[in-house]
């Protein structure tokens, strides 16, 4: 019911939509210009490095957990790439069908 009311109130004509888009583009251009001016200043660089370092230390465990969760996938992918470089993909498929199917299930191949 709430969505129906919101939809009725938010009927924008083309002119209003174009105006909103124009304002958004202008705002983004100003932000980009401001960034281009300050990006090479020493103060910005130090603040940005500090922010990045803090983010890294806060989320280090998440990245480690991601690697642990994908350890098997990474191992199989590396193994497949080895056979791919040697032009022995068919041999990989025959020797390790479960690994190949695992890669297929994880959508590693775009046209498999």
Judge whether 76 and 103 are in contact, CB under 8 Å.
yes
**Torsion, CA 40, CA 45, CA 48, CA 54, rounded to 10:** 160
Tokens of 11: 């009927």
Tokens of 40: 């090479």
Answer yes or no: is pLDDT of 9 > 80: no
- Report pTM: 0.50
φ, ψ for residue 99, nearest 5 deg: -70, -40
Length in residues, the chain: 112
pLDDT tens digits for range 28-87: 999 999 999 999 999 999 999 999 999 999 999 999 999 999 999 999 999 999 999 999
């Amino acid at each position: 019911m709430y969505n129906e009311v919101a939809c009725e109130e938010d009927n924008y004509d083309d002119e209003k939509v174009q105006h909103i888009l124009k304002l958004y583009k202008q705002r983004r251009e100003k932000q980009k210009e401001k960034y281009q001016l300050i990006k090479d200043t020493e103060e910005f660089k130090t603040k940005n490095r500090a922010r990045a370092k803090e983010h890294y230390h806060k989320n280090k465990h998440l990245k480690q957990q991601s690697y642990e969760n994908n350890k098997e996938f990474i191992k199989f992918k590396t193994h497949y790439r080895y056979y791919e470089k040697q032009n022995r993909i068919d041999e990989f498929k025959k020797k390790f069908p479960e690994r190949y199917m695992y890669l297929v299930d994880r959508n590693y191949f775009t046209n498999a």
